[in-house]
Amino acid sequence: MHRWSELFIPTLREAPADAEVASHKFLVRAGYIRQLAAGIYSYLFLGNRSFNKIIRIVREEMDRIGQEFFLPALHPREIWEASGRWQLMGEHLFRLKDRKGADMCLGMTEEEVMTSIALKELRSYKQLPQIWYQIAPKFRDEPRPKSGLLRIRQFMMKDAYSFDIDPAGLDVSYKKHYETYRRIFDRCGLKYMVVEADSGAMGGKESHEFMVRTPAGEDQIVSCDGCDYAANMEKATSKLAPVADLPPEGDGQPLLVHTPGMKTIDDVAKFLGTSTNNKIKTLALMADATDEAGKKKSRPIVVLMRGNDQLNEAKLNAAVVTATRAMEESEIRALFKSPAGFLGPLGIDWATEIKNGDKPVLLVDKALEGRANLIAGANKEDYHQKNLTPGKDFHPTAYADLRAVTAGEACPKCGKALRIDTAVEIGHIFKLGYRYSESMGLRVLDKNGKEVKPIMGSYGIGIERILTAAVEQGNDADGFWLPAAIAPFEIVVAPVNVKDETVRAAAEDIAKRLEAAGYDVVLDDRDERPGVKFKDADLVGIPFRITVGKKVTEGTVEVVQRSTREVRDVRISAILETFEELLRRAG
């Protein structure tokens, strides 16, 4: 039996000054965690108990679809070199040397190790499909660890990898994970959304993120209350209200207009008496790269958008497959022959495709596709152009969805108003495709004895993010409450006065019986005043409290539900039935 008086549960009255978000404050105050360094935390008794319960759920569900491995955290450089990520990951990868001077790194994810096992061992289509997973620490040298356990440098991750003979097989493995993830997060008692996501630098096609809404989160999620549409901002779209085009002026050819000193979209629209949505916003960006010879070369990326739309950088990065930065004044003048404020698409020899070629890229947001008689800068100080029609007066390298969705716009599925929330990502599944089997040379023989590349999927769950999200999801001024399935204890039994023998014995008896019935119980047998015990019980995340007080003489105790603070008097003789109802049936 767990007796509080013998346990190390260092609760604090005050949160550390450097904690900002609720989960950080409370996990420290409740004695779950202590910080060792930026983004590195120790889990104490309560934290570790909760952690292990989460892991057990993840393991039970993953065992239904896959096989658990345990892979090294310490990796040789070679396998990362082979996948191309020794370079790609840059400073994010923790690197070190062994005594012989050989380069090593700490695993930030395990595609390389899993694939290297697969490539040595998998020979035949008969061995596929495979789903291999592990639950193990991951290391990422984050430029800015933050918000307690939300973004840390060492964390526990369940990572799984699937190998299939063909895309149809991958669809099956993907779906299995999708369903398994739902079961895991349901069992963990989280309220979450599944959103369409950008697959990021990992490549691949289909991708879903499992998100929990909380102001502490780092991701922006667009969702619809009217239907099941939900997507990451990086991917979200909306049904835009149509904008009336201006009538052509004069002969309909591009028309130079004098706009002295009018540099901003608003200035120009007001000056010309039109809506900002008939004005083109021209964004001058630059993509830096190094060529084979190691020489730096930059390629201009110019983006055109509706006047009052905002660019979503993740969408842009996905479209051009590289990071971009704003152009410097000198670069603007070199390309446009004009100062900023009067930029436009005319008079520049744009590339005809994004890939290859050194010519500047003109990307036009889809919201401008099919529009006519727009207004843009004339690439001449104090002048703009009217009557500009994309495809007629200038030719975009490509059209792409680049605009950031804003709250209140119409859902692309059902048309209701979209909402935008911040959320924390607790899981991510995506179809990797052939990236690693390609780069690392994974091949098996198919039915016809022909060598084929298996297709892979990759699936991750952040263990501490489940805990963090649960705390963010259930807390108040006094502390937090975890779903019973992941709480360190389900019930705390609090005798109001341990010096009162009747009370003490009754509490002891109740705790024993509940424990015998299979509940995780802690008996707060400390010789403390009731207030101290109640405050601690409220703080530490245990979903139920049994208060054993004077009413024991009448055969009654109080059962308090932490989340609602609902109190009910329960006959001691009926205590097991009560929790049967409260915990077992509630799941």
Partner RNA sequence: CGGGGCGUAGCGCAGCCUGGUAGCGCACCUGCCUUGGGCGCAGGGGGUCGUAGGUUCAAAUCCUAUCGCCCCGACCA
CB of 246 to RNA, least distance (A): 33
CB of 205 to RNA, least distance (A): 14
Residue pair 25/216 in contact (Cβ under 8 Å)? The answer is no
289 contacts RNA (rule: CB under 7 A) = no
CB of 248 to RNA, least distance (A): 39
Binding residue for RNA (CB under 7 A) from 313, 331, 381, 446?
313
**Through-space distance between the first and last CA atoms of the chain, rounded to whole angstroms:** 23
Residue (39 or 344) nearer to RNA, CB: 39
CA distance 93 to 216: 25
Residue (508 or 538) nearer to RNA, CB: 538
Binding residue for RNA (CB under 7 A) from 8, 14, 296, 566?
14
145 contacts RNA (rule: CB under 7 A) = yes
Helices (H) and strands (E) in the chain — how many of each? 14, 33
In the 8-state DSSP scheme, what is residue 361? E
166 contacts RNA (rule: CB under 7 A) = no
Residue (341 or 457) nearer to RNA, CB: 457
15 contacts RNA (rule: CB under 7 A) = yes
CB of 212 to RNA, least distance (A): 15
Binding residue for RNA (CB under 7 A) from 56, 77, 92, 366?
92
288 contacts RNA (rule: CB under 7 A) = no
In the 8-state DSSP scheme, what is residue 581? I
- Whether the upstream peptide bond of residue 167 has omega within 30° of 0, thus cis, is no
Angle at 469 between CA 467 and CA 471, to 5 degrees: 70
Q: What is the DSSP string of 232-260?
A: ETTT---BPPP-PPPPP-TTSS-EEEE-T
Residue pair 542/535 in contact (Cβ under 8 Å)? The answer is no
CB of 143 to RNA, least distance (A): 4
CB of 431 to RNA, least distance (A): 12
CB of 194 to RNA, least distance (A): 16
Segment near RNA (CB under 7 A), from 10-18, 72-80, 286-294, 350-358? 10-18
Q: Which helix (H) or strand (E) holds 392?
A: none
CA distance 478 to 476: 5
Q: Tell me how long the chain is.
A: 587
Residue (342 or 430) nearer to RNA, CB: 430
Segment near RNA (CB under 7 A), from 126-134, 240-248, 257-265, 526-534? 526-534
* Torsion sign, CA atoms 409, 415, 417, 423: negative
Binding residue for RNA (CB under 7 A) from 20, 63, 328, 554?
20
Residue (38 or 414) nearer to RNA, CB: 38
- Binding footprint of RNA, residue count (CB under 7 A): 63
CB of 565 to RNA, least distance (A): 7
CA distance 500 to 498: 5
CA distance 377 to 341: 7
Interface characters, 248-277, with RNA (x: CB under 7 A): ------------------------------
Of the candidates 230, 150, 232, 220, the one whose C-alpha atom is nearest the C-alpha of residue 421 is 220
CA distance 366 to 275: 18
Binding residue for RNA (CB under 7 A) from 25, 75, 151, 380?
151
Binding residue for RNA (CB under 7 A) from 8, 37, 291, 355?
37
Helix (H/G/I), strand (E/B), else coil: 491: strand
CB of 324 to RNA, least distance (A): 8
CB of 76 to RNA, least distance (A): 19
Residue pair 230/221 in contact (Cβ under 8 Å)? The answer is yes
Residue (220 or 238) nearer to RNA, CB: 220
CB of 349 to RNA, least distance (A): 28
Residue (317 or 352) nearer to RNA, CB: 317
Residue ranges in 215-244 that form contacts with RNA under rule CB under 7 A: 218
Residue (345 or 549) nearer to RNA, CB: 549
Binding residue for RNA (CB under 7 A) from 38, 74, 574, 586?
38
Segment near RNA (CB under 7 A), from 44-52, 364-372, 376-384, 542-550? 542-550
Binding residue for RNA (CB under 7 A) from 138, 279, 299, 380?
138
571 contacts RNA (rule: CB under 7 A) = no
339 contacts RNA (rule: CB under 7 A) = no
> Could you identify the residue written with the tokens 């744009």?
350
Helix (H/G/I), strand (E/B), else coil: 109: coil
Helix (H/G/I), strand (E/B), else coil: 425: strand
Residue pair 523/533 in contact (Cβ under 8 Å)? The answer is no
Binding residue for RNA (CB under 7 A) from 527, 554, 577, 581?
527
Residue (72 or 84) nearer to RNA, CB: 84
Residue pair 79/407 in contact (Cβ under 8 Å)? The answer is no
Strands 219-224 and 230-232: antiparallel
Of the candidates 53, 11, 23, 19, the one whose C-alpha atom is nearest the C-alpha of residue 487 is 53
Residue (162 or 259) nearer to RNA, CB: 162
Segment near RNA (CB under 7 A), from 44-52, 222-230, 510-518, 544-552? 544-552
162 contacts RNA (rule: CB under 7 A) = no
Residue ranges in 181-200 that form contacts with RNA under rule CB under 7 A: 200
Residue pair 302/282 in contact (Cβ under 8 Å)? The answer is yes
Number of neighbours of residue 8 by Cβ within 10 angstroms: 8
Structure tokens at 11: 């609760």
Binding residue for RNA (CB under 7 A) from 368, 493, 496, 507?
496
Q: What is the DSSP string of 494-513?
A: EES-TTSHHHHHHHHHHHHH
Helix (H/G/I), strand (E/B), else coil: 192: coil
**Where does 126-252 have alpha helices with state H?**
167-187
CA distance 273 to 8: 71
| Residues whose CB falls within 8 Å of the CB of residue 516, separated by 6 or more in sequence, listed in order | none
Binding residues for RNA (CB under 7 A):
11-18, 20-21, 35, 37-39, 92, 108-109, 138, 140, 142-147, 151, 157, 159, 200-202, 218, 313, 317, 323, 428, 458, 460, 462, 478, 496-497, 499-500, 527-532, 534-536, 538-539, 547-551, 558, 560, 567
